[in-house]
């Protein structure tokens, strides 16, 4: 497709889902789009996230869906309602990629891979005239008075580019080897933009394991377990069931990720936090106590636990690790611990190990179009905005939706500036 004559030029910085979606909205409305990314190819984090099965969105009712964004529900609701999970699925189908809803409500491409989707999308963008410039690292502005005069570091030296508007979609600070390293934070802060500190989200946490427990159980999954976490201000326990994994330094996995935000916030407030593990979530406390009190004869306690409660392996290891010898030998205390084993968590794992990040450009620094109020003509989208969500399709959905919103915001801005779009 040939470029529209005299079309306005918009620079999109970041070739992930948010940036590419902004590019799509703009290009199909006659805007000339130039996409820049520091990495050698587009969508690197998107591709890696899809290696284990590309969870693109979730099929739960929209009210519950929006609740996953916690304190940023109100900010994200209009964006996601405009480009909803159903609209996202329809968009994917338009690329020739079919989807299905899994048993948990998660939505996947039929092939379970990200690569076919990304290939089809990039082909369509190029056909629409979008130009991708890889190995172009944004390093700031070329003009202190002009927020659309951009500087890039490239293999061939520094490059300057003047645009009519800019979309920033550079991600947070997780997985820096894939390009999201948070290097944009000081650039925006130097321009007076309000940026909430970046923090790990969907992350693991450190515990104080003994050397023996580390050597014996690191890497082992803990299946059919529940976690209870005290709510802020003395409210009821937050309770969730699922699976997690013991690591060399602590604990991680889908169950932990689902509670990582409140655990992280509790750690920030108190320094440490105690969660309570239910190692037999399908059993009542009374039934656990009854089975444990049955005579065990000459059998060891380990054999008795395996025989009566199917507690063995890493679950047995957790009981021995978290209880004193005296408490483990006391049947009443042991029964209570099986239903509520205290585990002290010390700190989140480093941000470069996290699946995603919290923090970023504050919504309070943006107008309703996602334009930075201190930098007219500069818009933000994706994970570099100050929101977070659990895994399960919520992260990608908000990235796509905010990218679409930023693209539409640029169109509105160009119109207000009297810049005609063919």
- Residue 190 neighbours by CB distance under 10 Å: 10
Residue 2 within a domain: no
**Lowest-confidence segment of 88-97, 177-186, 362-371 by average pLDDT:** 177-186
| Residue 109 belongs to some domain of the structure | yes
Residue 3 lies in a domain: no
Dist CA 391 CA 104 (whole Å): 12
> Which of 348, 372, 403 delimits the end of a domain?
348
Q: What is the pLDDT of residue 307?
A: 87
| 79, 405 Cβ separation under 8 angstroms | yes
pLDDT in tens, 215-272: 999 999 999 899 998 776 555 567 889 999 999 999 999 999 989 999 999 999 889 8
The rounded distance, in Å, linking the Cα atoms of 328 and 146 is 68
pLDDT at 285: 92
Residue 44 has pLDDT above 80, yes or no: yes
387-420 burial, b for 16+ CB within 10 Å, e for fewer? bbbbbbbbbbbbbbbbbbbbbbbbbebbeeeebe
How far is it, in rounded angstroms, from Cα 122 to Cα 178? 18
Q: Is residue 422 part of a domain?
A: no
Q: Which of 348, 376, 393 is the last residue of a domain?
A: 348
- Domain assignment of residue 4, yes or no: no
Domain boundary among 348, 369, 400: 348
CATH number at residue 410: 3.50.50.60
Question: Do 343 and 371 fall into the same domain?
Answer: no
DSSP 178: G
Distance of CA 184 to the CA centre of its chain: 18
1 within some domain: no
> Do 193 and 213 fall within a single domain?
no
| Same domain, residue pair 162 and 288 | no
Q: Evaluate whether residue 159 is within a structural domain.
A: yes
**Do 210 and 195 share a structural domain?**
no
Tokens, residue 168? 């920033």
Q: 104 and 135 share a domain?
A: yes
315 and 371 assigned to the same domain: no
Q: Mean pLDDT over residues 94-106, rounded?
A: 94
Co-location of 299 and 158 in the same domain: no
Task: Output phi, psi for 262, to 5 deg.
Answer: -65, -30
Closest among 303, 348, 319, 301 to 222, alpha carbons compared: 319
**Residue 337 pLDDT more than 90?**
yes
**Which has more confidence, 103 or 33?**
33
Q: Are residues 54 and 156 in the same domain?
A: yes
| Average confidence (pLDDT) over 168-191 | 92
Residue 224 and residue 195 in one domain: no
What local confidence, expressed as pLDDT, does residue 1 receive? Answer: 41
Q: Is 144 within a domain?
A: yes
Domain range for 251 is 205-348
Same domain, 330 and 376: no
Predicted confidence band of residue 3 (pLDDT cuts 50, 70, 90): very low
- pLDDT per position as a tens digit, 106-164: 999 998 889 999 999 999 999 999 999 999 999 999 877 787 899 999 999 999 999 99
From the list 23, 9, 10, the residue with the least C-alpha distance to 121 is: 23
pLDDT value at residue 142: 85
Structural domain tally of the chain?
2
């Amino acid at each position: 497709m040939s470029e529209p004559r005299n079309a306005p030029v918009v620079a999109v910085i970041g070739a992930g889902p948010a940036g590419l979606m902004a590019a799509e909205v703009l290009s199909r409305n006659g805007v000339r789009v130039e996409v820049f990314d520091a990495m050698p190819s587009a969508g690197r984090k998107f591709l890696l996230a899809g290696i284990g099965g590309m969870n693109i969105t979730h099929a739960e009712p929209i009210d519950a869906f929006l609740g996953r964004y916690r304190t940023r529900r109100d900010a994200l609701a209009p964006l996601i309602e405009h480009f909803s999970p159903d609209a996202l699925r329809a968009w994917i189908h338009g690329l020739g990629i079919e989807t299905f809803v899994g048993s948990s409500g998660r939505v996947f491409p039929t092939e379970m891979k990200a690569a076919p989707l990304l290939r089809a999308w990039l082909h369509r963008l190029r056909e629409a005239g979008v130009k991708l410039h890889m190995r172009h690292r944004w390093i700031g502005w070329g003009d202190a008075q002009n927020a659309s005069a951009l500087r890039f570091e490239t293999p061939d030296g520094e490059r300057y580019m003047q645009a009519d508007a800019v979309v920033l979609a550079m991600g947070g600070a997780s997985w820096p080897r894939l390009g999201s390293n948070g290097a944009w934070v000081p650039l925006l802060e130097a321009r007076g933009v309000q940026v909430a500190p970046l923090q790990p989200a969907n992350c693991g946490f450190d515990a104080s394991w003994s050397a023996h427990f580390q050597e014996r159980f690191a890497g082992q999954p803990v299946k059919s377990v529940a976690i209870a976490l005290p709510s802020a201000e003395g409210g009821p326990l937050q309770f969730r069931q699922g699976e997690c994994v013991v690591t060399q330094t602590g604990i991680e996995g889908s169950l932990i990720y689902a509670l990582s935000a409140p655990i992280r916030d509790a750690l920030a407030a108190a320094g440490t936090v105690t969660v309570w593990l239910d190692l037999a979530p399908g059993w009542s406390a009374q039934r656990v106590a009854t089975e444990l009190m049955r005579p065990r004869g000459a059998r060891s306690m380990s054999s008795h636990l395996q025989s009566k409660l199917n507690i063995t392996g890493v679950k047995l290891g957790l009981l021995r690790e978290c209880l004193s010898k005296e408490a483990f030998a006391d049947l009443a205390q042991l029964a209570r611990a099986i239903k509520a084993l205290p585990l002290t968590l010390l700190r989140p794992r480093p941000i470069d190990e996290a699946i995603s990040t919290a923090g970023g450009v504050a919504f309070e620094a943006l107008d309703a179009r996602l334009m930075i109020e201190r930098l007219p003509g500069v818009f933000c989208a994706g994970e570099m905005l100050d929101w977070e969500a659990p895994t399960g399709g919520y992260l990608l959905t908000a990235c796509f939706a905010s990218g679409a919103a930023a693209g539409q915001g640029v169109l509105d801005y160009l119109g207000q500036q009297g810049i005609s779009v063919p």
